[in-house]
Every structure is written in C-alpha cells, then in structure tokens.
Amino acid sequence: MNCQIVNATIITLNAKNEIIENGEIHIKDGIIQYVGESGPAFAADKMMDANRNVVMPGFVNTHTHITMNLLRSYADDMNLKDWLDKKILPAEDKFNDEISYWGALHALCEMAKNGTVALNDMYFYCNGIARAIEQSGHRAVISRGTVDPDPQTGERTFNDALQIYKKYNNVERIRVYMGPHAQYTASNGLLLKIAQTAKELKTGIHMHISETKREHEQCVREHGKTPIALAESLGLLDVPFLAAHCVYATEGDMELLKEKGAAVLSCPQSNLKLASGIAPILAMMEKGVLVSLGTDGAASNNNLSMWEEMTYASLLQKGTTLNPEAVPAMQALRLATQNGAKALGINSGSLEAGKNADLIIVDTGDIRYIPNYSVVSNIVYAGSDRDVLLTMVGGDILYEDGRVTFADEDEVKERVREIAEKIKT
C-alpha cells in the first residue's frame, strides 16, 4: 500500500536535526520514499492529513517484560525480598502461555496507544508473547529469561530459549535473542554456553546487568570483576549485547561497552522505583556508548510510557550533574527513539528515504503545547503519551482515531481483569 502524509510538522531526527514545517511523507510498501516540503508525484492509495500536527519517529522501548502488565499495581512500595517472594513469584507461578498472551496483548495495546513501535522483551511463556506480537505487528526482539538456580532449571530454561529461537526468529517482525537473566541468577557455566550459542546462531544477547549496588558488590567480591567485566570475559559481549540498566557501571565498564559496541538499555523510572539508583548515562554517552531507554515491566514503573522515560532521562542527568545543559530535549528524544532502533538493529529511528515507516502523529493542539517556541521542548518537557493520534509500523497502522487496530481493547481489558482475579494471592 502507498500512503502519503501531508500538512505535517516533521521532526526528522536526521543528521541535521531538520524540522520541516508543512511537509509531506511518501511511504511505499512500508518504506519511506520521500520526506520534505513538497515531493515528486506519488500515487497514494491513502492520503493522511496531519493537520499541522507533528510526525516523528515512533518510540523504541528497549527493556520491558510486557506480560507483567498483569501485575501492575500488585506490589508497590515494597522491599525486594517481599516483592519477589510474597507477591511476584507466587503470581507468576500461575502463569501459562494463554495468560501470557493476554498480558502481552494488553501491553501491546498500551504501547500502540502511547506511540511505541518496537520493543525488546525478556520473560518466560514466550509462545504467548510471540503470538501477541505477531498479532499486533510491533517490531520486537524477544528472549527467554534463562537461569540456573539448579542444573535442571538451567537445562530447561536454556532448551526453552532454543525452542523459542527456532520457532520465532524472523517470524513477522520478531527476532529472538538469548536472554541470560542476570549474573547473579546464571552461573558462569551457563553464561559461557549462552555466549557460544549466540555466536553459533549469529544472534544477540539481552541481559540485566549492573542493576543494583548489591549485585555489583557481590560480583566484585566473588569474581574480582564487575558484572560487565565478567560478562565480557565470558564472551557475552562478542555478539550484539543489550545491557539492561547499568546503574553501577564503572568507567572501565563504559570503556568495555563502547569497545564492544554494546547498547545500554536505561530504565530511569524503574531504577528509581525499585530503589536501585540513577544510571550515569551522561558519562556513558560522553564516552561514546550507545544509550537507549526502556520502561521495564509494569510491576516496576507502572506504565509503558516512553514519554515519561525520556523526560526522566533528561531531568535526572541535569539534576545529578548540576548541569542544566545536560541531555537537551533533542537528545532526549533521540534516546527514546533513534538510539533504541540502533540498539535493536532496526532500520528506523529517523524519517528519511529508505527507512522503515515506523512513525507516530502527535496532536500538538493541547494547551500544554502553547506557546510553541520549540516543538521538541514541548514534546519532551510538557507533552504526554495521550497526545499520540496515530502509530504506524512498517506502513501498517496499529493505532488510529482512539482505537488499536489489532485487537478489541475492551475484550483485552476484560480478560486481564479476569486473570488478575485468578492470579492474586
């Protein structure tokens, strides 16, 4: 299908940071053909009038656990041990692929509505997750969280990860990475095996790493290395490596991440809410590390809004470095969109010919966008995910006119309400 968007304020996020007033975009077979003030003749099947609203790249949520939408508001303001032992683990024990499907679909509805076009997920019952993503049309990297509290569980979760890889890698818009859960939940032996397997499969690795002070200190004590240095020594960084959190990354860790081309997936709100701390992403970026943003799961956020993450990312760096010029609005917007696309190896994140048409239209008519001295400032510092009018992935519309196109939202809500009743203790 050929689609033409006209009358748009286009935030291109191209190398020149161009913002085009009253511009147009031509899309053919899901790929952008033209972005500018007035393009060549184009036979569009569908004309879309943006009404002077903003068209920009969609958000890429690089660290989440979408099934955890089922656990939103279930266990807040608790210490980690009670949170995990008394609430999360007993509830998760009742999960299965069907439950996982509804939780994932619920999250994908939320994401389509808030302008998210791609995600990177780690969880279990991945058949349900993959089924929901096939249905929604989001781009996604998924991984099966792999752990070995005992050898049996290690074998079971590793084999499941392989199965998921075989079944879903390159199905629709899904790719499958290996997902060692964390250094403190996976033995060095398992981590080594995962590194070798990822190399053989020519896939990447997604891992929680350097999230908490406790994790960092314990790893140094037991292995004489930081979690990131240990991961590097085991070969995990020899493939595309997605490093979730990195709150306690040292200067040396940052050098390693940079050298290996790993991507940091920073989750500012989750790191605060779980009392992990504030990741030094400005320092990372100054060292040349690729930093992207994620929401984490709804049990520790509690929504999947990348709008909030980009504001937190900017404000927290300003406030902790005492530098008001840190992470300006345009950079914050890049963190939440383009850098995520780069991290996940997706050919989008800017509006330019040749890129995937993974974009959103944002209503800038609300009082919070007035005055409009800077539309990017307004989006980053004053806007809200509720301003998203349309979400498009590869030319397909996932959300428009207040409705998701791939599911009956009311049914999804109702099913999730029912499941919530069953899983709570």
The two structure tokens encoding residue 194: 């995962």
Q: Any contact of residue 192 with a second copy (CB under 8 A)?
A: no
**H helix count then E strand count, the chain:** 16, 17
Question: Closest CB to a second copy among 22 and 188?
Answer: 22
The two structure tokens encoding residue 366: 């609300």
Longest dimension (CA), the chain: 65
Output the smallest distance, CB 105 to a second copy, in A.
Answer: 11
Q: Which SS3 state, helix, strand or coil, does residue 146 take?
A: strand
Q: Which of 77, 25, 83, 95 is nearest to 54 (CA)?
A: 25
Q: Any contact of residue 38 with a second copy (CB under 8 A)?
A: no
Q: Any contact of residue 384 with a second copy (CB under 8 A)?
A: yes
What DSSP designation does 58 have?
Answer: P
Q: Contacts with a second copy: how many residues (CB under 8 A)?
A: 65
CB under 8 A: which stretch of 130-138, 176-184, 225-233, 295-303 binds a second copy? 295-303
The two structure tokens encoding residue 225: 């290395």
Output the smallest distance, CB 79 to a second copy, in A.
Answer: 6
Question: Closest CB to a second copy among 143 and 300?
Answer: 300
| Residue 174 Rama label (left phi>0; alpha psi -120 to 50; beta) | beta
Output the smallest distance, CB 209 to a second copy, in A.
Answer: 18
Cα angle 38, 42, 47 (rounded to 5 degrees) comes to 85
Cβ atoms of 389 and 54 within 8 Å: the answer is: no
Question: Closest CB to a second copy among 76 and 85?
Answer: 76
Q: Any contact of residue 269 with a second copy (CB under 8 A)?
A: yes
| Measured distance CA(167)–CA(370) in Å, rounded | 49
Output the smallest distance, CB 118 to a second copy, in A.
Answer: 19
Output the smallest distance, CB 328 to a second copy, in A.
Answer: 4
Cβ atoms of 281 and 80 within 8 Å: the answer is: no
Output the smallest distance, CB 152 to a second copy, in A.
Answer: 32
Q: Any contact of residue 86 with a second copy (CB under 8 A)?
A: no
Judged by CB under 8 A, which of 218, 233, 303, 347 binds a second copy? 303
Output the smallest distance, CB 278 to a second copy, in A.
Answer: 6
Q: What is the CA radius of gyration of the chain?
A: 21
The two structure tokens encoding residue 400: 């428009």
Site string for a second copy, 1-30 (x = CB under 8 A): ------------------------------
Q: Which of 133, 158, 155, 132 is nearest to 145 (CA)?
A: 158
Q: Any contact of residue 84 with a second copy (CB under 8 A)?
A: no
Question: Closest CB to a second copy among 45 and 325?
Answer: 325
**Residue 171's CB: how many other CB atoms inside 10 A?**
12
Chain residues binding a second copy by CB under 8 A are 70-74, 76-80, 83, 106, 109-110, 113, 213, 269, 271-278, 298, 301-303, 315-316, 318-326, 328-329, 367-368, 370-375, 377-378, 381-382, 384-386, 409, 412-413, 416-417, 419-420, 424
